[in-house]
Structure 1
Amino acid sequence: MYSPAEPFCASRLEVLFAACFAASENTVLCGGAAEPFYQPAVEVGEPHRLWYREDFFASALHEIAHWCIAGRERRLLPDFGYWYAPEGRNPAQQAAFERVEVGPQALEWCFARACGFPFRISTDNLPAEEGEVADHTVFKQAVCAEAGRRVGAGLGQRAQQFCHALQQAFGNDTPWQSWRFSPVDLP
C-alpha cells in the first residue's frame, strides 16, 4: 500500500484509477502480471481489468495510456485487439512496434510529468545480436512531437481526467498546457 516515503508505489495508481474510472467505465487497474494485458469483462457485473507488469509504476502509467487512447470498441477486445511480438523483433517488426507506440508513450510521458515520475522511452526490444546498438533517435523525436501535440490539442477526456487526478495526488499545480517536451529531456 502507499507510503509517503515511497510516493511512486504502483498501488497508489490503482487507487487513483479506481477513483476516476471504476464506476464510470467499470474498469480497474491491477498489478502483479507477468506481462501487461487488458482483459475485458466476461461476465455481467465483473469489471474490465487493466493488468500492468509486476509492481512497476512505469508499467502502470504505460498501460493506463494505452487504455485512455483505446476507443470504446477496442476496450471490448482482449489487449485492445493489438498484436504483440516479443523481444527479439527484426528491424521491420521493431519499426512497426515503434509506430504504434508513439501515442501511448507520449501520453505516458504526460502522466509521468503530472506526478513527477522520471519518464524513459521504451523500445521494448533487446538487441538481436550481442553488442548491437540500435538508434532510436527518430522514435524519441516522434514521441516528443506527439507529447507536445497532445498537450496542445488536449489530452482527451479520460486522459485529462487521469492527468488531473495525478496532479492533485502528487501536488503538481503546473498547468499541463504549459508543458514542453524535448529529446534532451530523455535519458
Structure 2
Amino acid sequence: MEHRVDDLIQIFKDCFEDTYQTRLVRGDIEPLYRPAQPGQDLHEIVFAHGFFSSALHEISHWLIAGPQRRLLEDFGYWYEPDGRTAAQQALFEQVEIKPQATEWILSDAAGYRFQVSTDNLNGEFKDNTEFKHSVYQQVCHYCEEGLPMRTEIFRNALAAFYDTPRDLCRERFRLADLR
C-alpha cells in the first residue's frame, strides 16, 4: 500500500481534531509544534518536507506530551541542531527514546519501515547501539504494559486503515531490524 501523508493527515484529524483541537500540517523545512494562539482554534503539529516518517515522528512527540507541555511551543523542549557534541547527543538520545519507540509502533501499524534517527549527521560520532537498544526496550515495555490512551487510539486507526494486525505484540519488533 502507498503511504501518503494526506491519508495520515486525515487519520489524525479523525482521531484528534475535535477532541484535542489539534491538526497535522505539512511544513516546508523544520518540524515544529505550535500551540493555538489567540484567534486560532487549533494547535498544529508541523512535520518536515511532507515526509511520512517526519509526520509519524512529530505525532509521536505529541502523543507523549502531557497537557501542560502541549501548551508550549515545541512542547517546551530544547533542540540543539545537527552538529552536536557527543555529550549533547547523549542528552538528545535520552529524550528521544519514548518518541522513537512510539514512532516504531506507529510505523508498524502503518506497515511502514521504521529507521531509528540520531539526527546528528554533522556532529561528533557516537555509537548508537545503546540508543537502539533503549528504543527497543521501550517498545517491549509498551507491548507488555500497553500504550497510553491517545497512542492506542492512533495506532488502532492506522492498523484499521492500513489493514495491519490490531494486536500489539513484541514478536513483530526485533532489535536486529533497527537501522
Residue-by-residue CA offset, 1:129-157 (whole Å, 9 max, x unaligned): 6xxx5310000000000011012111101
Q: AA paired with 1:79?
A: D
Q: AA paired with 1:128?
A: G
CA contact (8 A) 1:127 1:134 kept: no
Consecutive unaligned residues in structure 2, runs of 5 or more: none
Alignment TM-score, normalising by the size of structure 2: 0.95
Q: What is the match of residue 134 of structure 2?
A: 142
Consecutive unaligned residues in structure 1, runs of 5 or more: none
Residue-by-residue CA offset, 1:30-83 (whole Å, 9 max, x unaligned): 012311100000025510000000110000000110000000000000000000
Q: Distance in 1 between matches of 2:123 and 2:16?
A: 39
Matched, 1:81 2:76: yes
Q: Which residue of 5, 15, 34 corresponds with 2:10?
A: 15
Alignment TM-score, normalising by the size of structure 1: 0.91
Q: What is the match of residue 21 of structure 2?
A: 26
CA contact (8 A) 2:140 2:170 kept: no
Q: What is the match of residue 159 of structure 2?
A: 167
Q: Distance in 1 between matches of 2:50 and 2:32?
A: 14
Q: CA deviation at 1:128?
A: 3.2
The sequence identity of aligned pairs, in percent, is: 42
Q: Distance in 2 between matches of 1:51 and 1:128?
A: 25
CA contact (8 A) 1:27 1:50 kept: yes
Q: AA paired with 2:86?
A: P
CA contact (8 A) 1:106 1:147 kept: yes
Q: What is the match of residue 93 of structure 1?
A: 88
Number of equivalences: 179
Moved over 4 A (4+): none
